[in-house]
C-alpha cells in the first residue's frame, strides 16, 4: 500500500495509534432522491476530531501519517465530528450534508465522488511519524437519481 511510516494496514487506512487502520464503509443507497447513504468510519482513536474529505477523483499521496486518496476537486465538509468513546463517526444523509455544508456541493446523478475521513491522531508517545493526524481508506460512490 505504501503508507508513509511503514504503517500499512491491508484492510483499512494506514495504521494509527490504536495499532490498526481506520475503515470507512457505506450503507444505504447512492440515490440522491432518497438521501439515505450513510458513511461510517471505525477504528479511529477515541475522543478525537474527524472531518469528511471528498474529491471528484482519486490519487494516492502521502499525507501526515496516512495516504490522501481523494483527488481532483478536493473539498472538506468543514464540519468537525467527534469520534466518541468508541472511535467512530457516522454521517447519515450524505447528499443533504454536502448541500448544506459551507462548500454547498450539489451532487448530480452519474457523478462519482471519493470520500475519506481525516482525523487527529496524537499518540501518547511519538509513533506513526508523529504527524498528529491520519486518514481512513477511501471510498468511491457513484450517485444515482
> What is the percent of the chain with per-residue pLDDT over 70, rounded to a whole number?
92
Cβ-proximal residues to 71 (8 Å cutoff; 6+ apart), any chain: 55, 56, 57, 58, 59, 114
Instruction: Go through the domains of the chain in sequence order and give each one's CATH number.
Output: 23-142 (2.60.40)
CA 124/CA 126 separation, integer angstroms: 7
Out of 13-17, 23-27, 72-76, 139-143, which region has the weakest mean confidence (pLDDT)?
Answer: 72-76
Cβ-proximal residues to 19 (8 Å cutoff; 6+ apart), any chain: none
pTM for the structure as a whole: 0.91
pLDDT at residue number 131? 82
pLDDT at residue number 127? 52
Per residue in 38-92, pLDDT (tens digit) is 999 999 999 999 999 988 899 999 999 999 999 988 887 667 889 989 999 999 9
Amino acid at each position: 500500500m505504501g503508507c508513509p511510516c511503514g504503517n500499512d494496514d491491508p484492510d483499512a487506512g494506514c495504521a494509527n495509534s490504536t495499532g490498526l487502520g481506520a475503515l470507512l464503509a457505506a450503507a444505504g443507497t447512492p440515490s440522491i432522491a432518497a438521501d439515505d447513504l450513510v458513511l461510517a468510519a471505525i477504528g479511529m482513536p477515541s475522543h478525537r476530531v474527524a472531518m469528511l474529505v471528498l474529491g471528484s477523483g482519486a490519487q494516492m499521496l502521502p499525507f501526515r501519517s496516512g495516504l490522501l486518496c481523494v483527488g481532483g476537486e478536493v473539498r472538506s465538509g468543514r464540519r468537525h465530528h467527534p469520534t466518541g468513546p468508541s472511535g467512530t463517526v457516522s454521517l447519515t444523509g450524505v447528499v443533504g450534508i454536502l448541500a448544506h455544508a459551507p462548500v454547498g456541493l450539489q451532487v448530480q446523478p452519474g457523478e462519482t465522488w471519493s470520500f475519506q475521513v481525516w482525523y487527529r491522531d496524537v499518540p501518547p508517545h511519538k509513533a506513526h511519524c508523529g504527524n498528529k493526524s491520519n486518514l481512513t481508506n477511501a471510498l468511491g460512490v457513484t450517485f444515482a437519481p
